Amino acid sequence: MAKKLKALAEDSSDSELAAQIRDSANNIWLAGLGAFVKAQAEGGKVFNALVKEGETVQKRAKDAASSKISEINVRAGTTWDKLEQVFEDRVARALHGLNVPTKKDVDKLSMRVAALTTVVEKLSAEIAEEAPKKKTRKKRTTSRSAKQA
């Protein structure tokens, strides 16, 4: 543009040069105003488009974070289960070394006690039924004084 202005300046007179410079400046001014109005009119559209784009990016980031958190929770749960199993095994070995009965041992004993209780109750009932059937001996009611006399 500067070359154009120099070429115009050489070819034309000062008044023509001034008129052309004014016209160019006016066109530049009008182009700037047009750009401003266009930016102002489409600024809202651009802003809304940026907001939508931001929402999309935020949703993707949130989904990715949720996925990673789920994955970490699964890993942590698996690790925790392994740790718990190791702890239980070690405690069981220590208790076994001390001859402490296990739950299984206590359950077996409880079943045996229940079975024995049933047998004892049955035998007690049989004995109670047979007791009145037996004849009892009558004791003589002689007194000593009668024998001595």
Is residue 110 in a domain? yes
Is residue 16 in a domain? no
Is residue 30 in a domain? no
Tens-digit pLDDT profile for residues 104-131: 889 999 999 999 999 999 999 988 888 7
Q: Residues of the chain with pLDDT > 70: what percent?
A: 79
Indicate if the pLDDT at residue 9 is higher than 80: no
Q: Which residue has the higher pLDDT, 53 or 3?
A: 53
Query: Tell me, what's the pLDDT at 92?
Result: 86
Query: Residue 21 in contact with residue 4, Cβ under 8 Å?
Result: no
Is residue 106 in a domain? yes
Query: Domain residues for 114?
Result: 102-130
Total residues found in the chain within this entry: 149
Is residue 125 in a domain? yes
Is residue 11 in a domain? no
The domain tally of the chain equals 1
What type of residue is 51? V
Q: Residues of the chain with pLDDT > 90: what percent?
A: 18
Rounded-to-integer distance, Cα 114 and Cα 118, Å: 6
